[in-house]
Structure 1
């Protein structure tokens, strides 16, 4: 294959990155989408594959939006009836030590809301609570963003993997389980590095170093690693719940909490876990509606309506409304957010699907791009997680980073004869860490907290993320050498 085509295959991604930085994410994605369409028709592609690829991208988009709708609906109902405020206020009395309160709220609420809702939810909730404890706004935002960067690997009940990998790559269930396990191993290492930086940030605020942060981090990180292979997308939800229960019985100095606001989340966790422990339900959840050879092309996809946690979210949302004695739900914010996500998500998925479906006699754009990365040879694992970080930095989403770069990483691993599971786990971990430095998250969290010093926040998060990502690269190279 001519080198010219290999270089040309980078154009959609390069344009997406550059335009996103200069003009914004939406402009970047649509520019990349337009160029991908143009390249598709000069790439020796089947004409019928074009509409087929768009149909496949639309089906995958609907799958993701089902998850997003459920998560937003539950959060909207919880906020509308005052349960979010009650949860925050109740947790501030858990311990006499303010630093313990800080770490517990930062780890527990950030991990829990990221795992259940994702899409920037922790940044909109947790910093305000930390500020109310007396911590500076910038410190509160920085810490929440750094912690959010650890647990986005299972954000919104696994959306980054469901949409980013399962939606575009032909992976077995065992491969998905391994990706979660390896990513959680990377998380515990990168998390230790990030916690070291958080401790130094708090020290500069006049708080002495202690063990509260480490105790609470390992209370969630150890279950995360141990359960990741078995629970997959539910790992974050269950691990944060385990941390909360452990802290309540063994670390709290005050156990008088308001339990009523938590009940919808308890319902959600139970409903999400049921298919894992009841075999008949597991078979229902795994039901798949195949769309093979769409429009008689080589493009195929599938739709798994019960794989999505939409119905558990809806039931939990109804429970929240009933407990809060609310007969009406304000759906306007939910649909507004859905529309905003759709206009970015669909073209993102379309870019990947068109790149995968391009070519007939010659390799696809994804294969061509991967051939360039394989030229880095043994050094590629160092690059792998940084690709994920860059993807999230530009797009503001671990999911979109995985959608855009998952296929590239998969093909590069295949060409270099490396473990696809480890390389994809490095992409996932990098994409997760990128949440701490992406401008979208920084601006959104700062706006809620009334802060305008965006550069100060980025300056405090970028070094920990670079070092944590490098640690992921090193651990990944070790795993690739050993396994």
Structure 2
């Protein structure tokens, strides 16, 4: 029992710092890391060499995931400051004259497309702003945007959450990704119906089926196919693009809506707005087919602690496949898009410099948090804390653990405010628990990630951010009145699905 409580202590400290004392994520991450490191040194006794190796693992994981996060934010800022999102938003608002369908489109599908490029609450903020400008109530707009895009968080930010769980587990990535596409489909459907419920109760859940079901089927097909080919960096926004296209088609057919006339100039503007996304798809597919073998691999030796724990050597612990690495693709895309925008006058050189500064300003707190939490995760894995926790939880829940996996994932995102952080902290725990029960670790890891993704809809930090955009700061309870029930219901459905699939 003492070992279990000591292993649980870093998570308890993080919980108290974030929800009790209400410290910033980076400060809470620092305190949690120091707590875990102190336990590691005193309890596990890794020695100087062992401690250095373990911290280096965390640092390398932070570099790998952090560069992707930086690139995702960079591309988002490029399109935003060049006016791309305004053009896309104006087009969608003109297409959808049915207010219910516009509400569903922006909060469930378009926000998911935005999530594919950059997360950190920005898709929900943008969707909320659009809906409010269209005349929807602030609390409903915020709640629908939070819930609607949450299913896509695991597949967003150029795959940073997927890479995170891959780095902290030993299960083959393809198995996790394919399972994530199946569970992601479940979460996607629940979120779509949840948005309909937020709009107008069960009446609109029934009315929304003719829009939700075909769009859900198309996006599910996209998720499954792209997961099979491990198209990690583009799986999110490609699925979102397909959802947008299918929603427009379904709306025109079911509502007999006329096509909105677009001038040649507007078509050029719209094409320019989506240029970066088209380039990312092009380069991702090209490098996938060519499969260039330009890799930088980082390996770590094993060691034995004075506490009797044998930490295995980790060959190829972090592998940078240079031309298939999302950050490289983003940099190439950004350079080409920036040159094009400068040439056509969408940007000037001063704005180009501002994009880089603004990206650094916004992403640095996230990078710091990632660094501390990844080092903490490395400590917990090498120090045996993850194994002790998973063993204790399995003994407590037994064969009911598959349902608990969904609860853990959702709580992880609620506590840390991030699906990526939840995967970092609990990915290895879920894998270890599955192996000890003789269950498929890929399914458990997938449940962890998708439940954590949906849990982002009720995360205090994200909710506060969106509440501020909606003019509801200090009135977050109005938003929670709409998000709590469908979010918890989705987590329950995911837990039951895991029991069935396991």
For residue 39 of structure 2, what is the aligned residue in structure 1? 39
Match of 2:220 in 1: 221
Give the structure 1 partner of residue 408 of structure 2: 387
Aligned to 1:171: 171
Structure 2 distance, partners of 1:121, 1:299, is 39
Taking the aligned partners of 1:65 and 1:305, their CA distance within structure 2 comes to 16
> Which of 375, 381, 386 in structure 2 is aligned with 1:366?
386
Per-residue CA deviation, residues 105-147 of structure 1 (Å, 9 max, x unaligned), is 2233211111122222202211111112221111111111112
- The more displaced of 44-53 and 409-418 is 44-53
Aligned residue number for residue 91 of structure 2: 90
Structure 2 matches for 1:59-78, cutoff 5 A?
A: 59-78=60-79
> Displacement of 1:19 after TM fit?
2.1
> Is 1:302 matched with 2:318?
yes
Confirm or deny that 1:151 pairs with 2:176. no
Q: Secondary structure at the match of 2:229?
A: helix
Give, in angstroms, the shift of residue 250 of structure 1: 5.6
Inter-partner Cα distance in structure 1 for 2:203 and 2:427: 43
| 1:248 CA drift (Å) | 4.7
Supply the distance in 1 between the matched residues of 2:235 and 2:430 (Cα, whole angstroms): 24
Q: Structure 1 residue 181 and structure 2 residue 182: aligned?
A: no
What's the counterpart of residue 255 of structure 2?
A: none
Paired residue for 2:453?
A: 432
1:162-186 residue CA offsets vs partner (Å, 9 max, x unmatched):
02x22222232xxx22222222222
Does the 8 Å contact 2:156/2:237 carry over to 1? no
- Which of 210-219 and 12-21 deviates more? 210-219
Matched residue SS, 1:119: coil
Aligned partner of 1:323 among 340, 346, 353? 340
Count of aligned pairs between the two proteins: 465
Return 37-46 or 298-307, whichever deviates more.
298-307
Residue 400 of structure 1: aligned partner: 421
Cα deviation, 1:35-64, whole Å, max 9, x if unaligned, reads 211111233332121111111111111111
**SS state at 1:66 partner:** helix
Partner of 2:329: 312
How far apart in 1 are the matches of 2:108 and 2:286? 26
- Does the aligned pair in 2 maintain the 1:53–1:299 contact within 8 Å? no
Q: Would you say the 8 A contact 2:58–2:374 is kept in 1?
A: yes
CA drift of 1:223 comes to 2.5
**1:471 alignment partner, SS class:** helix
Is contact 1:392-1:398 (8 Å) kept? yes
Residue 406 to residue 204, structure 1, CA distance change in 2 (3 Å):
closer
**2-structure distance, mates of 1:137, 1:72:** 26
Give the match for residue 340 of structure 1. 365
User: Deviation digits for residues 262-319 of structure 1, max 9, x if unmatched?
Assistant: 11211112112222223x43x34xx241222189985643241524311221232233
| Structure 1 residue 391: Cα displacement | 0.8
Gaps of 5+ in 1: 359-363
Equivalent residue for 1:270, pick from 282, 285, 293: 282
**For the structure 1 residues 292 and 112, does the alpha-carbon distance in structure 2 shift closer, same or farther, using more than 3 Å as the test?**
same
Q: Any conservation in 2 of the 1:146–1:433 contact (CA below 8 Å)?
A: yes
Cα deviation 1:59-101 (Å, max 9, x = unaligned): 1111112111211111112122211211111221113322222
Counterpart CA distance in 2 for 1:461 and 1:117 is: 22
* Alignment-derived partner of residue 79 in structure 1: 80
Tell me, what secondary structure is at the counterpart of 1:9?
Answer: helix
Which residue pairs with 1:361 in the alignment? none
Q: Could you say what the CA RMSD is over the residues aligned between the two structures, in angstroms?
A: 2.3
Cα deviation code 1:184-217 (max 9, x no counterpart): 2223223333333322322269979343344433
The CA distance in 2 between the partners of 1:139 and 1:58, in whole Å, is 41
Compare 330-339 and 438-447 and name the one that shifted more: 330-339
Q: Which residue of 2 aligns with 1:463?
A: 485
Contact 1:394–1:438 (Cα < 8 Å) also in 2? yes
Aligned pairs (5 A) from 1:274-289: 274-278=286-290, 280-281=291-292, 283-284=293-294, 287-289=295-297
Q: Structure 1's 55 and 15: CA in aligned 2 closer, same or farther, altered over 3 A?
A: same
* TM-score (norm. length: structure 2): 0.87
Q: Does 1:195 pair with 2:192?
A: yes
CA contact (8 A) 2:386 2:429 kept: yes
Q: CA deviation at 1:249?
A: 5.1
